[in-house]
Structure formats: structure tokens, C-alpha cells
Amino acid sequence: MTEPPGAGFRARILSALRATEAEDKAAIIAELVSETADEDSGDAPLFTAGQSSEEDIEPGRPARVELVDPRDVGRRGLGSTEGRACFLHAITHIEFNAINLALDIAWRFGGMPARFQRDWLGVAADEARHFTLLNERMRALGASYGDYPAHDGLWDIARKTRHDLLSRLAMVPCVMEARGLDVTPGMIRRLRAVGDGESAELLELILREEESHVAIGINWYRRVCAERALDPRDTFFDLLSRYLPNRVQGPLNLEQRRAAGFDADWLEQLGRVTAARTG
């Protein structure tokens, strides 16, 4: 077994997190993934947690991206080319944030088994590829990332959960990313309805891969719950009421949520929560 990469490896994850352009992030991520692809370190960590693990790190993003209040993000109908570009811009921004979220969890929570960092660096690589594909599609529609304002709601939950791995796992993959499983099929149908099959096919690809990202999050969430002797379902709903009490809405994509690792009891209680909010 080779020696763990250590602090230098962790510093390079942080450099990817702080990089402002997706291309630069992707290049660093690819190097890190390649270096750990064949490593057989069992449950040994790649690095230990540093004193800075609770720092409020601001991720790098292009300077031209204007962040505004969610209520001020423009929305346009999908019937026009510009409307579809604006719609795709919102999804592209989510994917850029998702790169940073995967990098942050890999950097912030040291002391975990090497597989933890490898899993999240793999997710970061997928999200970088999603970003590139979406930005290329936007360019075909006459726009690019930064042409429209965006909001910082997704990163806000990263700030709130920076102190605790279990909270981060529960709120980001099990809530925020899982919500993508629920809403993306409807987006695909809307795009197909206006004749934009290319954008729809791209979202279908992303949807398939996002299911695996949610599965990775649920797997590590369950593992940390087991280490802390906590019930996964009860703990999830306690954390949901603390951090995002109104975030989960129906209808739920039950098929893909099950495939990602939500069990029947968990989904049943989620159904009750969403029904109470819409009833």
C-alpha cells in the first residue's frame, strides 16, 4: 500500500475549489482522480482533518456571474430561443455549484476513508462535464454562462452545514440533489414539448448520472449515522426541520429515489411531509 497523499493532496482539492473557471477546476480534478484511481488504502484516510475544516470558504466562480436574490432571477418562457437559454443557464449554474459542493465535501471532511474522497472527486468530475455540456448547448442558443443573473441558495446550505459532515450529507445529496430527481423529468417533457430535443437529451443524461450522485450521498449518510448510532430516517427529518423545513415538495420521483437508496419507510414519511404542505 502506498503512503497517503496527505496535506498536499488536500491543498490541491482546495485549489480546485478556489479556481474561478470550470475548465481549470476540471483539469485539477482529473489529475486528482487519476492519482487515486488505483490506490488500495482500505479504510485509511487520504489526509486528516485540518484546523481549517470549519472555515467559511468561498468557492471560485467567474467574475461575470451576477448573484442576486432568488426572487430577482429572470424567468422566460421556453417558446423562444432566449427563453430556453435562460432556462438552461439556471441549470448550468446549479451544475457549477455542484462542482464546488463535491470539492468542498472532499476537502473539508478529512479523516474519512480514502473511498470518501475518491467518490466525491468522481462526482466533481461528472458535474464539471455536465457544466461543459450545458454551456456548449447554451452557446448553440446564442448565450453562455454569466449572461443571466443567478442566485446563491445552493451554496448557502453549504455554509450552514460546514461544521458537520452528517448535516452536509443529509441536506445536500439527500435533499438538494434528490430534488433534482423529482423535477428534471418535468423539465425534459417541457423541452420536448417545444421541440428542443437536444436540450432534453442532455438533461436525460444528467438525470441518469445524478441518481448515482444521490446514491453516493445516501451511502455515506447511512455510514456516518451507523458510526454515531443514529437512526437514518429519524435523523434526516430532524435535520430537515432544522435546516430546510419547506424544501421538500411533491411530487416525488419514487422510482429513482428508490434506486438511489431511499427505503420505503423514508419515502413514506417524505410523502406525508409533502402532502401536509400541499393539503
Q: Classify residue 57: in a domain, yes or no.
A: no
* pLDDT number for residue 247: 77
Q: Classify residue 189: in a domain, yes or no.
A: yes
**CATH number of domain containing 70:** 1.20.1260
pTM: 0.93
Find the angle CA(71)-CA(75)-CA(76) to the nearest 5 degrees: 165
In which residue ranges of the chain is pLDDT below 50? Answer: 1-3
Q: Classify residue 258: in a domain, yes or no.
A: yes
> For the chain, what is the domain count?
1
Q: Classify residue 100: in a domain, yes or no.
A: yes
Q: Classify residue 81: in a domain, yes or no.
A: yes
Q: Classify residue 261: in a domain, yes or no.
A: yes
Q: Which of 220, 53, 261, 42 is nearest to 122 (CA)?
A: 220
* pLDDT number for residue 237: 96
What is the domain extent for residue 262?
7-36+62-278
* pLDDT number for residue 3: 43
Q: Classify residue 194: in a domain, yes or no.
A: yes
Q: Which of 135, 148, 145 is nearest to 72 (CA)?
A: 148
* pLDDT number for residue 127: 97
Three-state DSSP state, 176: helix
Q: What are the cell numbers at 159?
A: 455554509
Q: Classify residue 54: in a domain, yes or no.
A: no
- Residue pLDDT, tens place only, 53-68: 667 788 999 988 888 8
* pLDDT number for residue 36: 81
